[in-house]
Structure 1
Amino acid sequence: MASGLRRFVGSLSRRNLSTACANKQLIQQHDGGVGSGKSLNLYSAINQALHIALETDPRAYVFGEDVGFGGVFRCTTGLADRFGKSRVFNTPLCEQGIVGFAIGLAAMGNRAIAEIQFADYIFPAFDQIVNEAAKFRYRSGNQFNCGGLTVRAPYGAVGHGGHYHSQSPEAFFCHVPGLKVVIPRSPRQAKGLLLSCIRDPNPVVFFEPKWLYRLSVEEVPEDDYMLPLSEAEVIREGSDITLVGWGAQLSIMEQACLDAEKEGISCELIDLKTLIPWDKETVEASVRKTGRLLISHEAPVTGGFGAEISASILERCFLRLEAPVARVCGLDTPFPLVFEPFYMPTKNKASCLESFKVPAQHCCMNLTAHGS
């Protein structure tokens, strides 16, 4: 990605979402104003957020496959012991049933926090999420809603997951009016964003980057705090090119920015955090300053959410762009096992961008031939 940058440089839409504030607690950006913290990895931060959600709201429930003993990634460890099996419990191996039950629970005024064991398994519940949860408020003329619904799911590469445990399905749900889609990049972000999602008056799909569950460690405030949804964050300011991503891909993009800086390229890096409704204004302001945009995500390039960002920014910034928008993404293949290193977008994957006129997606699809 870094070497590609060298060649490459040379109104939120609310979509039928409620804007009512379901919780009066002050929403903090970053950890400003929040009490002292301690070093946590991402799964521990998720666990801490779930503890707080259950402790502060007696209407909150956590359930899913194997959550009673902590779940496969240990995110729900200790919850059943502390809050009882009536509030934290295992479900049958039926994703449609998990989400269907969660919708009914939320419709009765509760906070339903449903876990899908892997994001790859969310598709049996697709009908419930897309045709029921997302349309509940709209079809009733705002008389009823299931805004207390949060669906958690570990997504993305894990290093050895293959095609049934490593998919990134966020784009499917970004197409659905009535849902919010949120993806954190770090422990501090994960805790604050998850609490915001649980307390948001809209159904939310919260994807957790499983690659970072134990790898990502940082100082996390111990207090109850929330981070605002639908607000992108400029992690790194720059003047030559804008980079946009989310989740685990942010750490890869930060490495690319550092390498590019050594070659005199100033990169502005933006974490989108909320994909729907996404913060067009922040990205637009950055691109109007830099004149260039590169988007990176793990999902396949065709139909990925990067395409939506590209189209929107092209419409808004056409006269300011000094080069075509580029995408460095996963390949248009099932997620492989032994060939995962070829599939994953890395900081060097844009190295075949020999001119501004070469679309990044073509470079990505040719990487296996070049062994990059």
Structure 2
Amino acid sequence: MPKCRRIFSGSVRKRGSDMARMTMIEAIRDALDTAMGADERVVVFGEDVGYFGGVFRCTAGLQKKYGPTRCFDAPINESGIVGAGIGMAAYGLKPVVEIQFADYVYPAYDQIVSEAARLRYRSAGEFTCPMVVRMPTGGGIFGGQTHSQSPEALFTHVTGLKVVVPSNPHDAKGLLMSAIEDPDPVIFLEPKRLYNGPFDGHHDRPVSAWKSHDLGEVPEGHFTIPLGQAITRRPGRAVTVLTYGTMVHVALAAAEETGIDAEVIDLRTLMPLDLEAITASVRKTGRCLVLHEATLTSGFGAELAALVQQECFWTLEAPVRRVAGWDTPYPHVHEWSYFPGPARVGDALRELMEV
């Protein structure tokens, strides 16, 4: 067995290798560590992120390494956290603020929409807002209605914001590094169900290795993934599946279980959207399924379906199909039924292929 050494993030790295296997939590922590080490303007703060290291431990060890002026705790005041971050960003810092759960962001929504998103434009470029707002999103931890929401559509509707949803540790680090370096505000949504281990999409539990892709391998040091670039997780010619976050793994599982030659596109960035990758895939396959965990009505999938219909109408062989969460308040007791799983996605794929 190769000898291994521990690194700050808590991951295990093979000696002499420039890659390490990490969970998403470790990859996010590694990105923050790398960014803070390279640029003293990067500051990290939020509820319990300093001494305790965050409720999910994404910031563990950062305060000890960089001190309480670079990584510190904030009061339970989401509006104040984001408002302070906007002020810091306007005057030269690069704040990375954490909202403990995406469900808690609503008191800060006015600050994000009315101040952060508009600062560059209302000041004619005199001020910018290079701020990242990190927040755990989605269900999977039995957190109930106030710890399980997927509010991405609320942010993609706001001009001036960029919105990112990684589906694996490799992308989480690379996208977060890009978000920190971006001159404008970025909403960085982290799927909780993917935090603590690989998820193969077939079952509602972690597994020992990433299915089909070695996505747990994360480069050491500084590396970025450009915002606005989707990636093909599974090539295919029969139908295109457009998805992001946790649902990437569900889509891969559904394609495998049905045997349908589905092409799975991981959007990674919802805004800006990689329209070129989307249209190229749909024009090739002629069919499209849109998949996300959030509520169906007015979810981001509606925008994707409209874009596909507008841009690919003459090559579509079937109506665009959406699979998503129920149009109900988040059902704690029926959490695993609420999530689109391989069975629901598989049924939708079969129906698309019959048209």
TM range (shorter): 0.7 to 0.9
2-structure distance, mates of 1:73, 1:151? 16
2-structure distance, mates of 1:358, 1:339? 30
Cα offset, 1:224, TM superposition:
1.1
- Residue 61 of structure 1: SS of its match in structure 2? strand
Aligned length in residues: 321
Partner residue in 1 for 2:190: 208
Deviations 1:224-277 (A, max 9, x none): 10011100001111000000111111111110111122xxx2110100000011
Partner residue in 2 for 1:276: 271
Counterparts in 2 of 1:330 and 1:274: CA distance versus 1, 3 Å? same
2-structure distance, mates of 1:260, 1:246? 20
Q: 1:227 aligns with which of 206, 225, 241?
A: 225
Cα offset, 1:326, TM superposition:
0.5
Structure 1: where are the runs of 5+ without partners?
A: 1-34, 360-372
TM norm structure 1? 0.84
Structure 2: where are the runs of 5+ without partners?
A: 1-16, 199-208, 210-215
Partner residue in 2 for 1:293: 288
| Of 218-227 and 307-316, the range deviating more from structure 2 | 218-227
1-structure distance, mates of 2:305, 2:57? 37
Partner residue in 2 for 1:322: 317
Cα offset, 1:91, TM superposition:
0.3
Q: 1:196 aligns with which of 175, 178, 182?
A: 178
Residue identity matched to 1:109? G
1-structure distance, mates of 2:304, 2:325? 16
Superposition RMSD in Å: 1.6
Cα offset, 1:220, TM superposition:
1.2
Asked if 2 retains the 8 angstrom alpha-carbon contact of 1:260 and 1:267, the reply is no
Percentage of pairs with the same residue = 50
Asked if 2 retains the 8 angstrom alpha-carbon contact of 1:159 and 1:340, the reply is no
Residue identity matched to 1:293? C
- Residue 184 of structure 2: SS of its match in structure 1? coil
Cα offset, 1:356, TM superposition:
5.3
Asked if 2 retains the 8 angstrom alpha-carbon contact of 1:295 and 1:326, the reply is yes
1-structure distance, mates of 2:123, 2:218? 40
Map 1:88-167 → 2, pairs under 5 A? 88-146=71-129, 148-167=130-149
Q: 2:236 aligns with which of 231, 235, 238?
A: 238
Asked if 2 retains the 8 angstrom alpha-carbon contact of 1:324 and 1:357, the reply is no
Cα offset, 1:109, TM superposition:
1.0
2-structure distance, mates of 1:144, 1:138? 9
Asked if 2 retains the 8 angstrom alpha-carbon contact of 1:234 and 1:269, the reply is yes
Matched, 1:346 2:341: yes
Partner residue in 2 for 1:86: 69
Asked if 2 retains the 8 angstrom alpha-carbon contact of 1:241 and 1:266, the reply is yes
1-structure distance, mates of 2:351, 2:40? 58
Counterparts in 2 of 1:164 and 1:154: CA distance versus 1, 3 Å? same
2-structure distance, mates of 1:352, 1:240? 15
Q: 2:306 aligns with which of 301, 304, 311?
A: 311
- Residue 168 of structure 1: SS of its match in structure 2? coil
Q: 1:175 aligns with which of 157, 160, 167?
A: 157
Partner residue in 2 for 1:29: none
2-structure distance, mates of 1:42, 1:351? 27
